[in-house]
Structure 1
């Protein structure tokens, strides 16, 4: 067969990740602090872009009612992608984008700024532009280290949510600086549940983490080394005597001689009083919520953007007209045109980012309204796909929105990812069960064991739960049981036999 050259015309469709679309994706996943730094850099680079320093007059608005209004607002993801891909062509050098994309885009005047209070609809950002360099050079913090262990601990549902709140209350030294009673009241859960969760957290690495006092921190480390006994417990109860170097009083309190006391003090000195100090600490930064959630009339929840965290930018049309008229060469004209287009696109991207955050957070509030009303025990099973399908966006978009974004609710300030919990399917095809409720059933079954003949093995618990409509695997039962610090059926039989 002879080879020959020929021309062919082929037509196809594809999604092109333009530089402008990459910028929109990057903006969506930035926290409010990172967004401020990015905007400052753009203001420095682009002479046509400037910050609106005028005092914005508050406008009367009807905050979104997540339980009622947002369920009717849907946006097609493909249409959003097309809008993003074509926005660069639509934005002329003299155009300005304002907060209300539907009413103000075509009628923008010189000096108009973005009004975030009007943001009411969502968009979609696709693609990925994460920098590999930032991942490789990032030093893991103590909080990240604990959250990584939390995801592998077996805690789910309400307990995992409560554990996340407790981790956020751990200081740089590794101590828990929060009152359990206060957290229980804020989350609407039992303090006994927080005690169980704290016991799990105190088993994390490094040893001694999440302690509330120095004595408790040292006790955890001694237990980890299997060196905690009654004499050492008495020494920890009398640390004030050790600080005064009152050795005779310590010997009487611990019931040991001089040699034993020296060995015990040497063991204490070998421990770490601040287990969290080994991790790289960053300057503490106050969490500023991106969205406010407040209760309204009739049990509805109002969702509002925090306008203080959103930059107000405008394109300086007067300066653009002046430099355009004075441009002589093609290079100068191209530079002015590019600056105008990039400034207009940035303003529009910021507007789209605000609308998307508002739409996603409103759907989260709608899904988790029971938590807001009754507490952490009522967190519903929720995943990214559920939210994405409900608001007509892609899962990757929802994932980016929920990263480094915070909601201020009547029960406290939470990261958006806090509201996503796992589910256990029903064996009868009904509504899924939350992991927390299943763990509660397992604990109830074990608590009813009165004798060694009543002890339930993990397989027996699986059968009982399946009869109750819970489809669960044996390894999941074992994982939940171990997370609650409940021994195996063999150990429970042995203990019941000893006490009989």
Structure 2
């Protein structure tokens, strides 16, 4: 076959990442604080944008975005009747959920969306890590010289010390209640009731937190803080314990009463007092005193009067902007050159797209959150041990969106429930098959069941991994022995041989 140059015409479909689509993707994965910063920057850059509470006639026709600035195809998929602020979970699957982006048309997901999602993720990866996403805003010096907070220090140790997701959740909740001095300011009974967890689990996690650096942190009182530091030095003998239990006598300088209670003489009591004075009563003060910005939820979930759940957007976190059409009309009449007209046209189109993108972002977050609440109803009603297996595909198929969109929505977004504030990604857990062909079990729930079985074992009847597998299969959980061993080691539970030795030593001591 001879080689020759020729002209051919081919028709093909491809995904084009327009600047408007890139902006919509960027806004979708921004946190509420980053979104506010981004909108503030746009308000300074674009003279046609104004805050909703500053407009002279926010309900007038001039406050509406101009659809003429958009071409027909782009306007179609952004048309809406206004962003809803509340949605009932019971009706979420009965609504026809509109896709967020034009690349999510039926059948397009398998033809090129994965490549587009990877491209968008690469371009906007810096946004999800914090900050505004602009390269010129990145300041390495401010990161290196920033103060390290006690909260961050304890959280890093929690990740290394605790692998069980349920225990990590409890640990994070307790760390949030630690003040700047390092003391735990929370009632453990209230924490257990709010999280739906047993009090024994709360006490066990607290005991782990009290082993963290600095020694003495997470104590509930001054005497407990000093006792933790003395125990670390192997100096918490009965006499010292008696002194700490009556530390108010030391504040009153009642040495005679202390000598009688501790059973020591004057010289020993003086040595004990010197040891206590050398301790740090506020171990948390060694860290930065920068006020930690509290997490502001994007979605609020409340129990409905009919037994369901009401999912509502936190409108306080949503910036409200409008397009000033009156100002555009006045300036357009005085524009002379083509450069001025092109600048005004670009500002108008950008402003309209920003308003539309903010509206669609709010709708998408509400749809995804409502479906998560519907899937995790047992968690909201009964507690952390009842999380269901859930992944991005299940949510995406239920609401008719692509997995990449659901992934962006759940990044850096938080939901306020009756059991606390959780990141949306927390509700996505792996699954373990059922031995009876029923519903799958959450991996976190299986770990919790293994922990309960081991905690309740008798010293004369230590459960081996094979016995645990048998008990779980009798309960309808199909799990392998190596998986049980992996979960047990991740929870730092010794083997059956080691546990038998430990309990025999405790019984004989």
Q: Same fold (TM over 0.5)?
A: yes
Q: How far is 1:281 from its partner?
A: 3.8
Distance across 1 between alignment mates of 2:142 and 2:487: 36
Q: Higher mean Cα deviation, 365-374 or 178-187?
A: 178-187
Corresponding residue of 1:96: none
Q: How far is 1:66 from its partner?
A: 1.6
Corresponding residue of 2:502: 492
Instruction: Look up the SS of the partner of 2:178 in the other structure.
Output: coil
Q: Higher mean Cα deviation, 165-174 or 467-476?
A: 467-476
2:387 counterpart of 1:376: no
Question: Structure 1 residues 125 and 312 mapped into 2: Cα distance closer, same or farther (>3 Å)?
Answer: farther
**CA RMSD in angstroms, aligned pairs only:** 4.0
2:208 counterpart of 1:200: yes
Instruction: Look up the SS of the partner of 1:271 in the other structure.
Output: coil
Write out per-residue CA displacement over residues 405-444 of structure 1, whole angstroms, 9 at most, x where no aligned residue: 3323344444434434454454666533332444334433
2:355 counterpart of 1:347: yes
Q: How far is 1:397 from its partner?
A: 3.9
Instruction: Look up the SS of the partner of 1:50 in the other structure.
Output: strand
Question: Structure 1 residues 9 and 320 mapped into 2: Cα distance closer, same or farther (>3 Å)?
Answer: same
Task: Give the counterpart of 2:87 among 64, 67, 77.
Answer: 64
Distance across 2 between alignment mates of 1:149 and 1:399: 27
Q: How far is 1:367 from its partner?
A: 1.3
Aligned ranges 1:248-263 → 2 under 5 Å: 248-263=256-271
Task: Give the counterpart of 2:449 among 427, 437, 440.
Answer: 440
* 1:206–1:276 contact (8 Å) kept in structure 2: yes
Corresponding residue of 2:29: 29
Corresponding residue of 1:93: none
Corresponding residue of 1:146: 154
Give the gaps of 5 or more residues in structure 1. 84-122
Corresponding residue of 1:479: 490
Corresponding residue of 1:171: 179
Corresponding residue of 1:113: none
Distance across 2 between alignment mates of 1:153 and 1:357: 33
Corresponding residue of 2:302: 294
Write out per-residue CA displacement over residues 439-458 of structure 1, whole angstroms, 9 at most, x where no aligned residue: 3344334523242xx22345
Question: Structure 1 residues 220 and 77 mapped into 2: Cα distance closer, same or farther (>3 Å)?
Answer: same
Corresponding residue of 1:237: 245
Distance across 1 between alignment mates of 2:10 and 2:234: 73
Write out per-residue CA displacement over residues 275-294 of structure 1, whole angstroms, 9 at most, x where no aligned residue: 33333343354554322222
Aligned ranges 1:382-461 → 2 under 5 Å: 382-426=390-434, 430-434=438-442, 435-451=444-460, 454-458=461-465, 460-461=467-468
Distance across 2 between alignment mates of 1:224 and 1:277: 19
* 2:459–2:500 contact (8 Å) kept in structure 1: no
Aligned ranges 1:213-362 → 2 under 5 Å: 213-285=221-293, 287-362=295-370
Write out per-residue CA displacement over residues 441-481 of structure 1, whole angstroms, 9 at most, x where no aligned residue: 44334523242xx2234565456545653422313213335
* 1:49–1:343 contact (8 Å) kept in structure 2: yes
Distance across 2 between alignment mates of 1:136 and 1:369: 45
Question: Structure 1 residues 496 and 247 mapped into 2: Cα distance closer, same or farther (>3 Å)?
Answer: closer
Question: Structure 1 residues 489 and 418 mapped into 2: Cα distance closer, same or farther (>3 Å)?
Answer: same
Q: Higher mean Cα deviation, 363-372 or 74-83?
A: 74-83
Instruction: Look up the SS of the partner of 1:69 in the other structure.
Output: helix
Instruction: Look up the SS of the partner of 1:252 in the other structure.
Output: helix
Instruction: Look up the SS of the partner of 1:177 in the other structure.
Output: coil
Between Structure 1 and Structure 2, how many residues are aligned?
A: 453
* 1:217–1:273 contact (8 Å) kept in structure 2: yes
Normalised by the length of structure 1, the TM-score is 0.76
Q: How far is 1:50 from its partner?
A: 0.8
Task: Give the counterpart of 1:188 among 191, 196, 209.
Answer: 196
* 1:446–1:456 contact (8 Å) kept in structure 2: no
Question: Structure 1 residues 161 and 381 mapped into 2: Cα distance closer, same or farther (>3 Å)?
Answer: farther
Instruction: Look up the SS of the partner of 2:311 in the other structure.
Output: strand
Question: Structure 1 residues 174 and 31 mapped into 2: Cα distance closer, same or farther (>3 Å)?
Answer: farther
Distance across 1 between alignment mates of 2:13 and 2:149: 44
Q: How far is 1:80 from its partner?
A: 4.5
* 1:218–1:273 contact (8 Å) kept in structure 2: yes
Corresponding residue of 1:120: none
Q: Higher mean Cα deviation, 181-190 or 251-260?
A: 251-260
Question: Structure 1 residues 136 and 161 mapped into 2: Cα distance closer, same or farther (>3 Å)?
Answer: farther
2:53 counterpart of 1:42: no
Question: Structure 1 residues 23 and 223 mapped into 2: Cα distance closer, same or farther (>3 Å)?
Answer: farther
Instruction: Look up the SS of the partner of 1:473 in the other structure.
Output: helix
* 2:302–2:311 contact (8 Å) kept in structure 1: yes
Corresponding residue of 1:79: 102
Q: Higher mean Cα deviation, 253-262 or 309-318?
A: 253-262
Write out per-residue CA displacement over residues 274-325 of structure 1, whole angstroms, 9 at most, x where no aligned residue: 3333333433545543222222354322212122322221111111122122
Question: Structure 1 residues 24 and 239 mapped into 2: Cα distance closer, same or farther (>3 Å)?
Answer: farther
* 2:52–2:58 contact (8 Å) kept in structure 1: no
Distance across 1 between alignment mates of 2:50 and 2:163: 48
* 1:209–1:276 contact (8 Å) kept in structure 2: yes
